[in-house]
Amino acid sequence: MTHLLEVRELVTKFYTEQGVVNAVNGISYTLDEGESIAIVGESGSGKSVGVLSIMGLIPSPPGRVDSGEALFNGRDMIGMDPEELRHIRGREMAMVFQDPMTSLNPVLTVGFQLTESLKLHLGMDDNQAKKRAAEMLDLVGIPNPEGRLSDYPHQFSGGQRQRVMIAMALSCNPSLLIADEPTTALDVTIQAQIVELVKQLQEKLGMAIIWITHDLALVAGMVDKVAVMYAGYIVEQAPVHDLYKKPLHPYTLGLLHSMPKLDATGQERLASIEGLPPDLRQNFQHCPFSPRCPYAIDKCKQENPALMSTGPNRLSACWRWEDLREETGFGVNA
Amino acid sequence: MSQENGKEIFIQVNNLKKHFPIFRGVFRRQTGAVKAVDGISFNIYKGETLGLVGESGCGKSTTGRSILQLLKPTDGEVLFRGQDLTQLGQNELRKSRRHMQMIFQDPYASLNPRMTVGNIIGEPLEIHNIGDANSRKERVKELLRIVGLNPYFINRYPHEFSGGQRQRIGVARALATNPDFIVADEPISALDVSIQAQVVNLLDDLKDDLGLTYLFIAHDLSMIRYISDRVAVMYLGKIVELSDKDVIFDHSLHPYTQALLSAIPIPDPEKEAKRQRLILEGGVPSPANPPKACNFHPRCSYATDICSEVDPEFRNMGTESAAHWVACHHAEQFK
Ligand SMILES: Nc1ncnc2c1ncn2[C@@H]1O[C@H](COP(=O)(O)OP(=O)(O)O)[C@@H](O)[C@H]1O
Ligand SMILES: Nc1ncnc2c1ncn2[C@@H]1O[C@H](COP(=O)(O)OP(=O)(O)O)[C@@H](O)[C@H]1O
Ligand code: SF4
Ligand SMILES: [Mg+2]
Ligand SMILES: [Mg+2]
């Protein structure tokens, strides 16, 4: 069976004056039609670079996808002709960013920006495009959609702008939506609105989703599977229920334990992950998490673990995943 | 000092207001005001952490700054150590500043990039004429140790540190003059998840070791529950609910608080699937033109006619000894 998207051993580096930054170190995952995956990790872990590499949006120089494949409907996006790439982007594959203003042009009306891509990608005429644009604004819950087509981006609130972005991304009916921390700058209340909206739209339109976030809590209720990134590696991947019930990588476990529990009162001290993420200008000969890992043994400091299968559809890059599995009272819900 | 609920009242805020004038036209005439803080009253007990939550733009930072007199309040009182801070002259105010400090959200913007860490942390000591050059240097080293940084870093510059380390520097600076009250304005919001817990644990330890009292502003409600003793919920310039944290989180009597709680994501797929969410419509209205009466009524699913006609009183629906302050006409129905 072919996947909608199959990323294989993707390697992206930045060749800077300060050295070579190993931003993405051979990540692999697949995504089927209508499926959703969350990519979770701290800032600098390579989440954005990972998806920008697929979309052909890595600034070069200094960046370069050095190796790997990203098969979208069977076609490799890496090294694809820019014209063809542009056609896939925006039509079959669309992206929303943390800051809507990076993709919205402040001097053009929202209606113009929405209809432009409909005309370009779907060959609609003025009237068709306008009608569709208003439908899209309505779909993402903007009141008075026809009237608002003539408004400029700054006339929308932060949450509404993110809705407009989503409308724009979905207007050509893409089969894959990539959302790069679209709610990070928003209040929890507005974040909840956007998450709910995307969930509904996915049910209605059936697109696959890559949702990037630093917040493990946020995606628990909205995706099928989760990939946890650290230092440019996917260190754990699992179906959503398995991951939260029994994380099999100390970093995932650390992230979950460092979040206070909302429903627990009189909680003891938070378990923090000591230390800092590593400098990515090194070639990791050891487990990249080992300097901060409470479970590290000598082997961890000498050999970098590859992803190992730890169960059905589960992977962990930890030498001690079996010990983690055996440990009782170890899981987050235990 | 007076008592309430058997607790010593440390700071008393009475009907505090901060309105920012809006000027328009060629003659810069005042045409209105942003009612950022619009008549709030509450006490902060000695040794407690009072959490302050609400959506952005609700007036949390303005509240913190107005209490510390970093902004001059439009009206109201702030009683601290037997004085009304709003009535103090510059000199007296400077003296009392020693005892109250602020920690800011952005560890990148709040430290002067051209000053060494030693000078940044020691500056408040100079301002307040505390000690001589030598004793200041010793104090700075001690402060670095207290916040978990190596005193060896004293001559380095802020850019040589990570976000979490910079926040520790900000904390050290706030502690320099031995204050007993600290306003922490979203001190962890800009930090990575794995670093947030480090800073929160540090603040918690310092509170116990140094006997501090905190006003802790945040929008991460699960962190607020973790760190606070009591929680105040703010909406559009007003405090709408105030009680012990467990009461706020488990037995809230205000629809806005309930909506905020309902918006928090839970890191558990099973709980998320079972959850009935109450999703708030729209965003926070402009405080330059707030809705009448209960200013939450346009977004409230329980609103009736009275809510748009009569301002709900901020009343105690708990007991004398376990107060639960709520400003909602329909709070009874949530009991
Ligand atoms: N244009 C660039 N030049 C140099 N390094 C970059 C550039 N863009 C990203 N990087 C580096 O690549 C790494 C991964 O970045 P990114 O994917 O943006 O992280 P995330 O999205 O997880 O926060 C970081 O160490 C970052 O500094
Ligand atoms: N110096 C200022 N001049 C005018 N309006 C201001 C000023 N500072 C804050 N405001 C306004 O006051 C309201 C409350 O702001 P703030 O206290 O920063 O809220 P919060 O900290 O809860 O996000 C907002 O509408 C904000 O735009
Ligand atoms: S391989 Fe070793 S150091 Fe790395 S996460 Fe596992 S136990 Fe920790
Ligand atoms: Mg990113
Ligand atoms: Mg603020």
pLDDT at A319: 97
What size, in residues, is chain A? 334
B173/A49 Cα distance (integer angstroms)? 36
Please give the single-letter amino acid code of residue B77. E
pLDDT at A307: 96
Which residues does ligand 3 sit against, CB inside 6 Å?
A 250, 287, 289-290, 293, 295-296, 300, 305, 318-320
CATH numbers and ranges of domains, chain B: 3-99+179-334 (3.40.50.300), 116-178 (no CATH)
% of residues, chain A, pLDDT over 90: 74
Please give the single-letter amino acid code of residue B111. L
Cα A61 to chain centroid, rounded: 23
R_g (Cα) of chain B, nearest Å: 21
For chain B, counts of helices (H) and of strands (E):
10, 13
B64/A108 Cα distance (integer angstroms)? 39
pLDDT at B291: 93
Strand partners, A315: A237, A309
pLDDT digits (tens, 9 = 90+) for B259-312: 999 999 988 999 988 888 888 888 888 888 899 999 999 999 999 999 999 999
User: Can you tell me whether residue A89 is helix, strand or coil?
Assistant: strand
pLDDT at A265: 60
Whether B92 has a pLDDT exceeding 60, the answer reads yes
Please give the single-letter amino acid code of residue B214. Y
Of the candidates B229, B160, B159, B221, the residue with the CA atom closest to the CA atom of residue B188: B221
User: What is the mean pLDDT of the segment spanning A208-222?
Assistant: 94
pLDDT digits (tens, 9 = 90+) for B2-28: 777 788 999 999 999 999 998 888 888
**End-to-end alpha carbon distance in chain B:** 33
Name the closest-CA residue to atom 10, ligand 2. B36
Of the candidates A249, A209, A244, A245, the residue with the CA atom closest to the CA atom of residue A229: A249
Whether A331 has a pLDDT exceeding 70, the answer reads no
Contact A149, A141 (CB under 8 A): no
B58/B206 Cα distance (integer angstroms)? 28
Q: Containing H/E element for A241?
A: helix A240-245
Mutate to test the interface with B, among A37, A98, A188, A265 (most CBs of B within 10 A): A188
Whether B225 sits inside 8 A of A260 (CB atoms) is yes
Q: What is the pTM of this model?
A: 0.91
Band (pLDDT 50/70/90 cuts) for residue A333 is very low
Whether B82 has a pLDDT exceeding 90, the answer reads no
pLDDT digits (tens, 9 = 90+) for B229-261: 999 999 999 999 999 999 999 999 999 999 999
Strand partners, A5: A31, A72
A7/A321 Cα distance (integer angstroms)? 24
β-pairing, B3-4 vs A314-316, is: unpaired
pLDDT at B282: 80
Whether B122 has a pLDDT exceeding 90, the answer reads yes
β-pairing, A63-72 vs A5-16, is: antiparallel
Q: Which residues touch B217 (CB under 8 Å, ≥6 apart)?
A: B51, B52, B53, B60, B61, B63, B64, B183, B184, B185, B186
Mutate to test the pocket of ligand 2, among B20, B35, B56 (most ligand atoms within 8 A of CB): B20
